[in-house]
Structure 1
Amino acid sequence: MAISKFILVPFLLIVLVSGLGESFEFDEKELATEESLWRLYERWGNHHTISRGLKEKHKRFNVFKENVNHVFTVNQMNKPYKLKLNKFADMSNSEFVSFYARSNISHYRKLHGKRSGGFMYEQATDLPSYIDWRERGAVNDIKEQGKCGSCWAFSTVAAVEGINQIKTNQLLSLSEQELLDCNFRNKGCNGGFMEIAFDFIKRNGGIATENNYPYHGARGLCRSSRISSPTVTIDGYESVPENENALMQAVANQPVSVAIDAVGRDFQFYSQASLGFIREIDWLTIIISSGNVNLKSVGKVQGVFDGYCGTELNHGVVAIGYGTTEEGTDYWMVRNSWGVGWGEEGYVRMKRGVEKAEGLCGIVMEASYPIKY
Structure 2
Amino acid sequence: MKGVVLLVLSLALVFGVVKSLEVTEQDLATDESLWDLYERWRSHHTVSRDLTEKQVRFNVFKTNVKHIHKVNQMNKPYKLEVNKFADMTNHEFRNSYSSKVKHYRSLRGDRRRTGFMHENTEHLPSSVDWRKHGAVTPVKDQGRCGSCWAFSTIVGVEGINKIKTNQLVSLSEQELVDCESDNQGCNGGLMENALEFIKQSGGVTTEKVYPYRAKDQRCDATKMNAPFVKIDGHENVPENNEQALTKAVANQPVSVAIDAGGSDMQFYKEGVYSGECGTELDHGVAVVGYGATNDGTKYWIVKNSWGSEWGEKGYIRMHRGIDAAEGICGIAMEASYPIKLTADNPKPGPQKDEL
Give TM-score scaled by structure 1 length: 0.84
Task: Quote the Cα distance in structure 1 between the aligned partners of 2:224 and 2:20.
Answer: 39
Q: Aligned-pair distance for 1:115?
A: 3.5
Code of the residue aligned with 2:75 in structure 1: it is N
User: Which one-letter code corresponds to 1:179 in the other structure?
Assistant: L
After superposition, residues 221-240 of structure 1 pair within 5 angstroms as 221-227=218-224, 229=226, 231-240=228-237
Deviation at 1:21, TM superposition (A): 5.5
Q: Which of these residues, 91, 96, 108, is aligned with residue 88 of structure 2? A: 91
Instruction: Report what 1:309 is aligned to.
Output: 277
**Separation (CA, whole Å) in 2 of partners of 1:227 and 1:191:** 20
Partner of 2:294: 326
Q: Identify the range of structure 1 (318-327 vs 222-231) with the bigger mean alpha-carbon deviation.
A: 222-231
Aligned residue pair count: 325
* Residue 5 (structure 2) aligns with: none
**Aligned pair partner of 1:47 in 36, 44, 48:** 44
Query: Paired residue for 1:167, among 160, 164, 172?
Result: 164
Aligned counterparts of 1:258 and 1:22: Cα–Cα separation in 2: 34
- 2:104 is aligned with 1:100: no
CA distance in 1, matches of 2:255, 2:336: 5
Which residue in the other structure is 1:361 paired with? 329
| 3-state SS of 2:159 partner | helix
Q: CA deviation at 1:105?
A: 3.5
1:226-283 Cα shifts (integer Å, max 9, x gaps): 23545100000000012000000000000000000001000000001xxxxxxxxxxx
Give the CA RMSD over aligned residues. 1.6
Does residue 182 in structure 1 map to residue 179 in structure 2? yes
For residue 26 of structure 1, report the CA deviation from its aligned partner. 2.6
Offset, 1:103: 2.6
Q: What is the deviation of 1:107?
A: 5.6
Q: Which deviates more, 142-151 or 112-121?
A: 112-121
In the alignment, structure 2 segments of 5+ residues that lack a partner are 1-14, 342-355
Whether 1:154 and 2:151 are equivalent positions in the alignment is yes
User: Shift in Å at residue 121 of structure 1?
Assistant: 0.4
SS in structure 1 at match of 2:264: helix
Q: Secondary structure at the match of 2:91?
A: helix
Contact 1:330 1:351 in 2 (8 A): yes
Structure 1 contact 75–83 (Cα < 8 Å) conserved: yes
Name the one with the larger helix percent.
Answer: 2
Q: 1:48 Cα deviation (Å)?
A: 1.3
Residues 264 and 308 of structure 1 are in contact (CA less than 8 Å); yes or no, is this contact kept in structure 2? yes
Query: In structure 2, do the counterparts of structure 1 residues 90 and 21 end up closer, same or farther at CA, with 3 Å as the change threshold?
Result: closer
TM superposition shift of 1:49: 1.4
Residue in 1 that maps onto 2:27 = 30
Aligned to 1:252, the other structure's residue is in SS state: helix
* 2:315 is aligned with 1:347: yes
> Matched residues in 2 for 1:304 and 1:163: separation?
26
Percent identical: 60
Report the alpha carbon displacement of residue 30 of structure 1 after superposing the two structures with TM. Answer: 1.1
The alignment status of 1:372 with 2:347, answered yes or no, reads: no
1:115/1:316 Cα in 2 relative to 1: closer, same or farther (>3 Å)?
Answer: same
Separation in structure 1 between the aligned mates of residue 21 and residue 213 of structure 2, nearest angstrom:
28
Cα deviation 1:45-81 (Å, max 9, x = unaligned)? 1111111111111111110000000000000000000
Aligned partners of 1:91 and 1:318: how far apart in 2? 25
By how many angstroms is 1:104 displaced?
3.1
Give the Cα–Cα distance (whole angstroms) in 1 for the partners of residues 310 and 67 of structure 2. Answer: 17
The residue type paired with residue 340 of structure 1 is S
Whether the aligned pair in 2 keeps the contact of 1:105 and 1:191 (CA below 8 Å) is: no
Please tell me whether the aligned partners of residues 109 and 115 of structure 1 are also in contact (alpha carbons under 8 angstroms): no
